[in-house]
């Protein structure tokens, strides 16, 4: 029976550690806009109306960052759009109407509606995007504060308290022997 419980514990521990590592990596790689960015990949969860009907709510978009020279006129691009009133940032989709190279690292893109955006706000093109249907809901859930509290913080608190308890027992045992 002890062997079964040990194997069962290990089988539960392996997915827990894997999920804990994934959650931590995603949360530690938030950019200044609150979006997970690992290397040249940006992980976007479709949760607002900005990307609908092109993408569905709950989709996970893995957008590969494109260099300014790779983005051409008539490309559809993802970009960060600041809402000054609400002090929030949303990810939007637009078609490039024209582009102007300011210098070697900066380009200004004019999108439909004659709105100019700096390349600083551009994420990538739709051509370099992979879509994972319904996986965005899972990622959004795993990145939530409640899941982090329940899945990471509280188990670590219990482990810390157990280690503290074991330390106190060991100290008491050594004091009795002395």
- Please check whether residue 122 is in contact with residue 40, taking contact to mean a CB–CB distance below 8 angstroms: no
Q: Which two tokens stand for residue 101?
A: 């190279």
Q: What is the CATH number of the domain that holds 59?
A: 2.10.109
Instruction: Report the domain count for the chain.
Output: 1
Residue 3 predicted with pLDDT over 80: no
Q: What percent of the chain has pLDDT over 90?
A: 29
3-state class (DSSP) for residue 135: helix
H or E, element range at 119: none
* Residue 8 is assigned to a structural domain of this protein: no
* Residue 111 is assigned to a structural domain of this protein: yes
* Residue 169 is assigned to a structural domain of this protein: no
- Please check whether residue 65 is in contact with residue 123, taking contact to mean a CB–CB distance below 8 angstroms: yes
Going by pLDDT thresholds of 50, 70 and 90, the confidence category of residue 1 is low
Going by pLDDT thresholds of 50, 70 and 90, the confidence category of residue 91 is confident
Predicted pLDDT of residue 84: 74
Q: Which two tokens stand for residue 168?
A: 């106190």
3-state class (DSSP) for residue 126: strand
3-state class (DSSP) for residue 167: helix
* Full-model pTM: 0.78
Q: In terms of residue numbers, what domain contains 78?
A: 32-138
pLDDT, average across residues 78-84: 84
* Residue 157 is assigned to a structural domain of this protein: no
* Residue 154 is assigned to a structural domain of this protein: no
- Please check whether residue 139 is in contact with residue 26, taking contact to mean a CB–CB distance below 8 angstroms: yes
* Residue 94 is assigned to a structural domain of this protein: yes
> What's the full length of the chain, in residues?
178
The chain-wide mean pLDDT, for the chain, equals 87
pLDDT, average across residues 73-96: 85
Predicted pLDDT of residue 148: 87
The model's pLDDT over 35-61, given as tens digits with 9 standing for 90+, comes to 899 999 999 998 877 777 888 888 999
The model's pLDDT over 113-138, given as tens digits with 9 standing for 90+, comes to 888 888 889 999 999 899 999 888 88
Peptide bond into 58 cis (omega under 30): no
* Residue 24 is assigned to a structural domain of this protein: no
* Residue 113 is assigned to a structural domain of this protein: yes
For the chain, report the end-to-end CA distance as a whole number of angstroms: 39
Residue 165 predicted with pLDDT over 90: yes
């Amino acid at each position: 029976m002890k062997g079964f419980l040990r194997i069962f514990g290990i089988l539960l521990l392996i997915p827990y550690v894997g999920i804990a590592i994934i959650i931590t990596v995603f949360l530690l790689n938030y950019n200044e806009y609150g979006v997970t960015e690992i290397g040249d990949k940006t992980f976007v969860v479709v949760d607002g109306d900005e990307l609908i009907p092109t993408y569905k709510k709950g989709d996970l978009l893995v957008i590969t960052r494109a260099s300014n020279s790779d983005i051409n006129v008539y490309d559809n691009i993802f970009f960060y759009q600041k809402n000054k009133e609400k002090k929030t940032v949303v990810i939007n989709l637009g078609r490039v109407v024209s582009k102007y190279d300011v210098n070697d690292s900066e380009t200004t893109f004019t999108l439909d509606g004659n709105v100019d955006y700096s390349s600083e706000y551009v994420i990538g093109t739709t051509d370099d995007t992979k879509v994972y249907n319904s996986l965005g809901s899972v990622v959004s859930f795993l990145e939530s504060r409640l899941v982090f509290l329940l899945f990471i913080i509280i188990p670590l608190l219990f482990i810390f308290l157990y280690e503290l308890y074991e330390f106190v027992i060991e100290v008491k045992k050594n004091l009795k022997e002395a």
